[in-house]
């Protein structure tokens, strides 16, 4: 698994988790969904992604978009 794949999988997991928590616990968990979306948007424009930095430090190889 590359950094690009790990970031995409992590973002998808976080969105699904926050939606499940919003449905079953509290709608305030939708704030987490908004945070993930905002982070994806800013990384598209700046090229900086905190999750990618963490996955690189964990030893995952760079992907084509990372």
How does pLDDT run across 8-66, given as a tens digit for each residue? 999 999 999 999 999 999 999 999 999 999 999 999 999 999 999 999 999 999 866 54
Domain ranges of the chain: 3-57
Buried b (16+ CB within 10 A) or exposed e, 7-36: beeebeebeeebeebbeeeeeebeebbeeb
- Please give the pLDDT value at position 62: 86
Q: Which of 18, 47, 52 is nearest to 35 (CA)?
A: 18
- For residues 7 and 60, the answer to whether their CB atoms sit within 8 Å is no
């Amino acid at each position: 698994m590359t950094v690009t794949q790990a970031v995409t999988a992590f973002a998808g997991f976080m969105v699904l988790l926050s939606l499940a928590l919003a449905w079953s616990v509290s709608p305030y968990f939708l704030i987490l969904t908004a945070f993930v979306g905002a982070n994806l948007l800013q990384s598209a424009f700046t090229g900086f992604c905190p999750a990618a930095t963490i996955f690189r430090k964990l030893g995952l190889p760079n992907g084509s978009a990372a």
